[in-house]
Amino acid sequence: MITESLETRISAALVRAGAPADSPALVGPATRPEFGDYQANGVMAAAKKLKTNPRALAAQVVEELDLEDMAASVDIAGPGFINIQLKGEWLATQLGNVLADPRLGVPKDAPQKVVLDYSHPNLAKEMHIGHLRSTVIGDAIARVLEFSGHEVVRHNHVGDWGTQFGMLIAHLDELEDPATELADLEVFYQSARQRFDQDEAFADLSREYVVKLQGGDPHVQQMWQQFIDESLAHGQRVYDALGVGLKPENVQGESSYNDDLPRVVEDLRAKGLLVESNGAQCVFLEEFKNKDGQITPVIVQKSDGGYLYATSDLAAVRYRAGVLAADRILYIVDARQSLHLQQVFAVARAAGYAPETTALEHHEFGAILGADNRPFKTRAGGVVKLMDVLDEGVARAFAQVSEKNPDMDEAERRQIARVIGIGSIKYMELSFNRTSDYVFDWDKMLALDGNTAPYMLYSYARIKSMFRRAGLDEGALDGEIAIGERAESALAIKLLQFPEVVAAVAHQCYPHMLCNYLYELADAFMKFYEQCPVLRADEPVRTSRLLLALLTARIVRQGLDLLGIETLERM
């Protein structure tokens, strides 16, 4: 990887020039093309430590530095930046290796076992637009981790337990034809809720059902199972439509920890972590002290004996770190649950459920907003069902495709529309930094230009069509890549950055980094294509440029695949 090689060599030169050991070279792509391809910014900080003139230190570093094989030029600029322009021959050799590598230059990491907690809808209701974030981001992270050589255990920590199920089952139990009534989970939930709020007798009955459910009453248990199965089947249809890798066997819901809950509470008691407060069992940890010096407790058992969301999460950490022996446990969960997860992590550490060698990471995300910058709702102000969103995306894409290609056969238009519609929704979701809110905008996500799925798909299909038009067989291209033009080296560098981006996403879990990268790659290709004739060039340049195009297509396809987005050979 370019950054890594430069970092190693320049920091070694820094040390040879007198800087303290481990002085980082701080290498990154050049902020402006006129500065070269890469720059190292570490000299200034090192000079400060040494109390010497940074420009003089930079000169010494360059003196000590051997980049003969890699760099065409190494210059000092400003107060002590080192600017590097890479050699065409070196880039060409690297690209030759990537061309021969089915992994496109991406190495495998030392394998870890990673539990990934994502999607996790509440089964009482239908999946809505809010679930898009965790589901799509989590799935992209799963793919990137697997591609990087890790074992990923997908855990769909669905909300399948709690008092609301009493109300739902009580309602279900009174219906003539439960199967039909469950066809629309949202309507079903709303009617149960309405009865619960308006009818005191029904509310009492619901509470009785909760007790029966918790007590293992066979009939109530069976009704609960029926409801859960229905809701999970609905979720599975959404996952299949979305092309997300969650399967029924990945469901590891809250209820799966039920038997463990009394044990967790007993264990916390045995470890001296429990304090009774107003009849409830609580853990007080110093780190959750507020401004007034009061500690916000983590409640693990209510005064009536009931357990809480935090209790099942503690059991889940214990299972994932203890039984599954995970190296990392990743939670792709709404930012609003950040305090909850911090508390769970802290109690789990204090109780020894997760050793220090198991990383507990909350990767949070913001909200999806409507055009009015408020949480996205239907026109009538209701929840936006996720399935409706997917259907609408495909329908809009179908209209677009049909308008552009009225003569195309309908089945093909439908297939293209599915890939574009679903891909656009997913790409839009992934292209923003997950920590911020974003506005759900059909026109933007379906636009053919900008950092969108249609643009990326088009960039890919265009390269493929170039090969088709020229009647070329990709596998039969015989020749080598040579880098001459500036547009070629800019594209070459982008192609070689793919492994760095994959590694960054695997570690930091920000899929938007991969979207940004692909967008920059497509842009570098576009500039190359505008400036450098491909099919009209003479050999051996023609083959070299075709190989650059081929590699671009492969990386775009692999990159989109890591994001969970399908590609089209023609559009």
- Cβ-contact 67, 74 below 8 angstroms: yes
- Cβ-contact 370, 401 below 8 angstroms: no
Nearer to ligand ARG, 36 or 235 (CB): 235
Nearer to ligand ARG, 235 or 421 (CB): 235
Binding to ligand ARG, residues 139-158 (CB under 6 A): 157
Nearest-angstrom CA–CA distance, 498 and 200: 61
For residues 60-72, b (16+ Cβ closer than 10 Å) or e, as one string? bbbebbebeebbb
CA dihedral of 247, 248, 251, 257, whole degrees rounded to 10: -150
Q: Pick one of 313, 429, 488, 500: the residue that binds ligand ARG (CB under 6 A).
A: 313
Q: Is 267 in the site for ligand ARG (CB under 6 A)?
A: no
As measured in angstroms, the least distance from the Cβ of 6 to ligand ARG is: 40
Binding to ligand ARG, residues 324-353 (CB under 6 A): 331, 333
> How many residues in the shown chain lie near ligand ARG by CB under 6 A?
9
Q: Is 138 in the site for ligand ARG (CB under 6 A)?
A: no
Tokens 């209510």: give the residue.
302
Nearer to ligand ARG, 91 or 213 (CB): 213
Alpha helices in 405-497 (DSSP H): 410-431, 442-445, 453-469, 486-496
For strands 359-365 and 328-334, give the pairing.
Answer: parallel
As measured in angstroms, the least distance from the Cβ of 57 to ligand ARG is: 50
Tokens (6 digits) for 202: 């029904």
As measured in angstroms, the least distance from the Cβ of 279 to ligand ARG is: 25
Q: Is 236 in the site for ligand ARG (CB under 6 A)?
A: no
Q: Is 251 in the site for ligand ARG (CB under 6 A)?
A: no
As measured in angstroms, the least distance from the Cβ of 337 to ligand ARG is: 6
Q: Is 120 in the site for ligand ARG (CB under 6 A)?
A: yes
- Segment interacting with ligand ARG, rule: CB under 6 A, options 33-41, 75-83, 114-122, 205-213: 114-122
Nearest-angstrom CA–CA distance, 355 and 324: 13
As measured in angstroms, the least distance from the Cβ of 116 to ligand ARG is: 11
- Cβ-contact 531, 463 below 8 angstroms: no
Q: Treating both helix axes as pointing N-terminal to C-terminal, what angle do 486-496 and 498-508 enclose, rounded to 10 degrees?
A: 30
Count CA within 13 A, CB hemisphere, residue 31.
6
Nearest Cα residue to 436 out of 365, 377, 373: 365
Nearer to ligand ARG, 212 or 318 (CB): 318
Q: Is 132 in the site for ligand ARG (CB under 6 A)?
A: no
Q: Pick one of 117, 230, 267, 429: the residue that binds ligand ARG (CB under 6 A).
A: 117
- Cβ-contact 93, 544 below 8 angstroms: no
Nearest Cα residue to 137 out of 316, 330, 5: 330
Binding to ligand ARG, residues 512-541 (CB under 6 A): none
- Three-state SS string over 338-365 comes to HHHHHHHHHHHHHCCCCCCCCEEEEEEE
- Segment interacting with ligand ARG, rule: CB under 6 A, options 73-81, 115-123, 435-443, 518-526: 115-123
- Segment interacting with ligand ARG, rule: CB under 6 A, options 27-35, 117-125, 363-371, 419-427: 117-125
Q: Pick one of 159, 235, 421, 423: the residue that binds ligand ARG (CB under 6 A).
A: 159
- Give residues in contact with ligand ARG (CB under 6 A): 117, 120, 122, 157, 159, 313, 316, 331, 333
